[in-house]
A = this chain, B = another copy of it.
Amino acid sequence: MARIIALENESKKDVITQKASLLFIKKGFPSTSMRDIAGAIGVEAPSLYNHITSKNDLLREICFRISRVFMNHLKKVESSRQTSLGKIEAIIRFHIYMMIHEFENMYITNHEWIHLHAPAVSDFKLQRRNYRSRLSAILKKGITKKQIRKLNADVAVHTMLAAINGIEGWHRSGRKVDARELEENMVEFLIEGLKK
């Protein structure tokens, strides 16, 4: 019984998060009011607070869930038996996959995290910095082993991640590109730019 109630709460919260995500993308986090979210669901704003803690908490959960997913993936890649270039390609493909299949939460994480509150915002920045410096380490190893072009590794990491995050422009403009074609073209562009 307690189990059923818990499940009902979770699913209602998921509905809120989902509707909120779409509005955050459309209007931005600060311009989306709790009344907007409530209206999209069909309830009054105060009712939302039976399921969530605060508007900012909604944002926090989205950003940290995405952050966790990338951290877990990175750990697997780091401990895999592949060349450095192979690892980078796996990471690139995973970022592309996430931009396509988790677009809403990716967009919000990439753009609205600045509105996180006091401890969360610095935790988030720290995780991000850590993630990128570990990518940088993989690139540097690949450069040493002459698999990767001699580039400034930090510049290369920022460049390739930004390029992939640019897939958002695709969703926004509503252009029709096959996901597979997008992935293959982007991977070729980036890998050929990196490959020695």
Contacts and interface: CB of A to CB of B under 8 A. Distances in A.
Interface in A143-161: 149, 151-152, 154-156, 158-161
A49 interface: no
A151 B28 contact: no
A166 interface: yes
A159 B152 contact: no
Nearest to A152: B185
A165 interface: yes
A192 interface: yes
A67 B168 CA distance: 20
Nearest to A183: B155
Interface stretch (A35-43, A50-58, A173-181): A173-181
Nearest to A162: B166
Contact of A162 (B28, B111, B162, B177): B162
A163 interface: yes
Contacts of A173: 129
Interface of A: 27-28, 30-31, 111, 114-115, 129, 149, 151-152, 154-156, 158-167, 169-170, 173, 175, 177, 181-182, 185-186, 188-194
Given A152-B185, A159-B186, 4 more contacts: A27-B114, A152-B181, A158-B170, A193-B194
